[in-house]
A and B are shown apart, each in its own frame.
Chain A
């Protein structure tokens, strides 16, 4: 029996868990808009606002009972992006006071040093617990090496770190982090079926312009229902074809193409048969596309839901007002 759960839902009892999913989704959208409304700048007010949002997000995380580590791990996929934007800002913003002016050398020794270090990093990273921090430290190291190994130089440049650059970099870093964490909090505290319902509810206004929201919701719901089943079937087909000699590790590229086809076609065949059978089953059970239906799911909007929504809009309003000052 499989124990796959789709999505990142972590069961819990916090107020965020109990919030109506539509409210959560809508509030998230409002807060994301608010966060992006704060212009990228090195000035005090935007920076402080972003920092305050960060603190708010951390407080929110704490209140859900979900370990902060888990939430921060959601940043893993975008570590590169974060570092890249940070570095670009530091390098290219030339306004503001100069904090430091460091000569950097691209030399034989520094290049070699960097290569050796990268190899060391790749090998050693599996032993380190805080992988994201280790990554940042490694990036830092790459620059440190350029500063301290000037021997046999090819070329050199001066790294001027301006305060503005550092501030902007920090700003963007915190903003991306905030956005990711806020979204993660939604997916951690909301079951996939509830999210599905929330998306459908929020899209419902589109019915006015004849968008088939109900049908789309049914399609989404069916997709969610079948993902674990399909995964299981794909695994079985992989094993069946492996028993006929398919081996992704020990084969040439040309063979790999046929091998992938040997996996894809059976999955397609199963899916088409499934679609036909499902269509019949749904029809016999009285499903008519576009017809009115009641719903078993019941969501009630309570005081805390309205309060949350209200607060989100207030935050948005404050930010807009401050921006126009």
Chain B
């Protein structure tokens, strides 16, 4: 669904924030992009939604090449939820915020009303339509942001560190919602995060370091490359680290290792 070919981007014309990155994202998949701060993750997400233009290479979304002409069409296909819940909440109330994208698309009034109700219900915020943003928690605001993107019928949703500023309750709400969107509504989800426990649940992992892709594949394969991950300032979650260490130091204890792996998959 998304084809990124040889994309490079630089903020200051000297150093490349992204250097010849190529990747494919399949329709209906849940991909996690991991990397340290400054690895190019956010740059990549901004390129994918057309906020930035690559200096080299091309991005194709659902067959459409990302360029100036196609921008408005692309905006109907791909949406993004950013990190700071307050800095993307435009509306005076929840209802107005979900409506924002629809207003921009010139959706007629009655259709808007129906969509707002439908998607507010999907994210469990239908009782909060008249609430103002300062009366909501971070998790609630992010749910509203997701509802806004869904209402625009965007099939691809990028979540750029959407849970970094949330407390554990809020983070859990969002994770459950993402799983639901991916598994039951077939949305293509791309999460950008440095939380490996969270990323472990996705279908496909991509690890960026200094603007380049250094690892790619299924979570369990990527997690085996502990040294590469460490060099990317990424830490294995506790349970995986313990597992890896025991594999190294007590490989003969199959029973223990199996039980530990079961715990990891249970997550």
Residues of B within 8 A of A2 (CB): 134-135
Interface membership of chain A positions 265-290, coded 1 if the CB is closer than 8 angstroms to chain B and 0 otherwise: 00000000110011011111111100
* Range, interface on chain B: 35 or more
Residues of A within 8 A of B99 (CB): 296
- Contact A294 B132, CB 8 Å, known A222-B90, A280-B46: no
- Contact A282 B103, CB 8 Å, known A4-B134, A277-B82: no
Q: Which residue of A lies closest to B113 (CB)?
A: A296
* CA of A284 to CA of B86, assembled, Å: 16
Q: Is the CB of A277 within 8 A of B46?
A: no
Q: Is the CB of A285 within 8 A of B148?
A: yes
One of B88, B107, B112, B135 near A281 (C-beta < 8 A): B88
Sample 16 A-B pairs with CB under 8 A, ordered by A number.
A2-B134, A3-B135, A225-B91, A274-B84, A278-B88, A280-B82, A284-B75, A285-B100, A286-B101, A294-B102, A294-B108, A295-B109, A296-B109, A296-B113, A296-B116, A297-B96
Interface membership of chain B positions 104-148, coded 1 if the CB is closer than 8 angstroms to chain A and 0 otherwise: 111111001100100000000000000011110100000000001
Q: Is the CB of B133 within 8 A of A286?
A: no
* CA of A296 to CA of B132, assembled, Å: 16
* Range, interface on chain A: 20 to 34
Q: Is the CB of A283 within 8 A of B133?
A: no
* CA of A283 to CA of B148, assembled, Å: 13
Q: Which residue of B lies closest to A275 (CB)?
A: B87
* Residue with the greatest number of chain A CB neighbours at <10 A, chosen from B112, B134, B148: B134
Residues of B within 8 A of A274 (CB): 84, 86-87
One of B80, B90, B96 near A278 (C-beta < 8 A): B90
Q: Is the CB of A277 within 8 A of B148?
A: no
B204 CB to closest chain A CB (Å) equals 23
Interface membership of chain A positions 210-229, coded 1 if the CB is closer than 8 angstroms to chain B and 0 otherwise: 00000000000110110011
Residues of B within 8 A of A225 (CB): 89-92, 132-133
A interface residues with partner B (beta carbon < 8 Å): 1-4, 193, 196, 221-222, 224-225, 228-229, 232, 273-274, 277-278, 280-288, 291-298
Residues of B within 8 A of A285 (CB): 75, 79, 90, 100-101, 104, 148-149, 152
- Contact A298 B132, CB 8 Å, known A225-B92, A283-B51: no
Question: Any chain A CB within 8 A of the CB of B93?
Answer: yes
Q: Which residue of B lies closest to A298 (CB)?
A: B109
Residues of A within 8 A of B67 (CB): none
* CA of A3 to CA of B49, assembled, Å: 36
Residues of B within 8 A of A278 (CB): 87-88, 90
B105 CB to closest chain A CB (Å) equals 6
* CA of A81 to CA of B131, assembled, Å: 39
Q: Which residue of A lies closest to B90 (CB)?
A: A282
Q: Is the CB of A273 within 8 A of B103?
A: no
- Contact A293 B104, CB 8 Å, known A284-B51, A284-B75: yes
